[in-house]
Amino acid sequence: MSEVPVPLPSPLPTAPPAEDHPTPASMSLYPEQDHDHRHHLHAGSPDTTFLGTTPEEAEGRSEMDEPFLLAQLPRPLLPSGHEVSPLMKATVLMRQPGRVQEIVGALRRGGRDRLQVISDFDRTLSRFAYNGKPCPSSYNILDDSKIISEECREKLKALLHQYYPIEIDPHRTAKEKSPHMVEWWTKAHDLLCQQKIQKSQIAQVVRESNAMLREGYKAFFNTLYQNNIPLFIFSAGIGDILEEIIRQMKVFHPNIHIVSNYMDFDEDGFLQGFKGQLIHTYNKNSSVCRNSSYFQQLQGKTNVLLLGDTMGDLTMADGVQGVENILKIGFLNDKVEEQRERYMASYDVVLEKDETLDVVNGLLQHILHQRDWAEMRGS
């Protein structure tokens, strides 16, 4: 594990920042996504919400008509005057909406003083796709860059096609997948170390890439900073790359702490390896953070908002002591038909094919007793 001190940026303005506008992305090495299969939330009766129907279609339907019925959704979700409108967005799926109601209520009562956010980076804070084309992960940014030879790129692509199906295989457990992930990451790191990558090239590689954070990222990062809410980014990507992305987006604030795979450069500035314990998709847990004093410094921050996009992200908060309330939000980006049920059984809130941080930002506004979500979206 490598923990990097965070420099102090210039103070933020008190006025809300202008919303970000995404720019086009090129193809990465990741396979094409499925078609956009969205299931919408609509009221079929005062007590029941069906997926995939309009209000008119929902009338008269029974609970057996829809395999992913959200049964007994309270209307409204919270007591009058405290509706959580972001959770009514069409991309939201919930297996236990009543349980989500309880957690959100507890987070709101605890407010900013007891809240911390723990998040994955690649395809959670960064985008999965833009205009139907995949966006690059922190590894893909290097893979696609000019500083990687064509021979190395082909070998990395072969590793992707060999191991990515294993990573997302719904029929294998995390324990079964883990040794394959170690093999993948280790082989990829060895290939990168053969490329004579220089530390001085990293910023330019990111600048020339099509890296994109999700729409709404400025509101997300700045709201956490302005309210003194710690943001722990736990990533199996390349720490130097993702940190540079956040810097260039001008949202790298002192409330951010990153644990990731950081590059180790020799005295001449060439990549010679990676620091600390290897972090892959399925070991993002307390085993990697056991020597970290980070969570020990956050005593009293017993409410957690967790953001991820894989089953491996569900354990990111394992190192937090005395957790009282945790809301797990999962971005379902790929193979949605195959993975929907598993995501709904594991995450409290599932965001299906949603390339924005709208729901997360709306929940933060609600928890912090700030402006109404609709007003925030319109600003």
Indicate the pairing of strand 231-238 with strand 115-119.
parallel
State the Cα–Cα distance between residues 241 and 30, nearest whole angstrom: 18
CA atoms within 13 A on the CB side of 23: 7
- In one-letter notation, the amino acid at residue 310 is T
State the Cα–Cα distance between residues 374 and 379, nearest whole angstrom: 9
- In one-letter notation, the amino acid at residue 179 is P
Q: Which of 232, 235, 240 is nearest to 273 (CA)?
A: 240
Q: Where do runs of H (alpha helix) occur along 234-333?
A: 239-248, 286-289
Q: Which of 107, 67, 65 is nearest to 87 (CA)?
A: 107
Looking up tokens 């997360």, which residue turns up? 360
Indicate the pairing of strand 263-265 with strand 256-261.
unpaired
3-state DSSP assignment of residue 142: helix
Dihedral of the alpha carbons of 26, 208, 148, 164, in degrees to the nearest 10: -40
Q: Which of 28, 26, 32 is nearest to 333 (CA)?
A: 32
Decide if 366 contacts 373 (C-beta within 8 A). yes
State the Cα–Cα distance between residues 206 and 285, nearest whole angstrom: 28
120 labelled catalytic:
yes
Q: What are phi and psi of 41, to 5 degrees?
A: -95, 120
Decide if 274 contacts 262 (C-beta within 8 A). yes
- In one-letter notation, the amino acid at residue 94 is M
| Tokens found for residue 169 | 């295989």
303: β partners: 115, 325
Other beta carbons within 10 angstroms of residue 46's beta carbon come to 8
In the set 20, 122, 348, 354, the catalytic residue is 122
Return the active site residues.
Answer: 120, 122
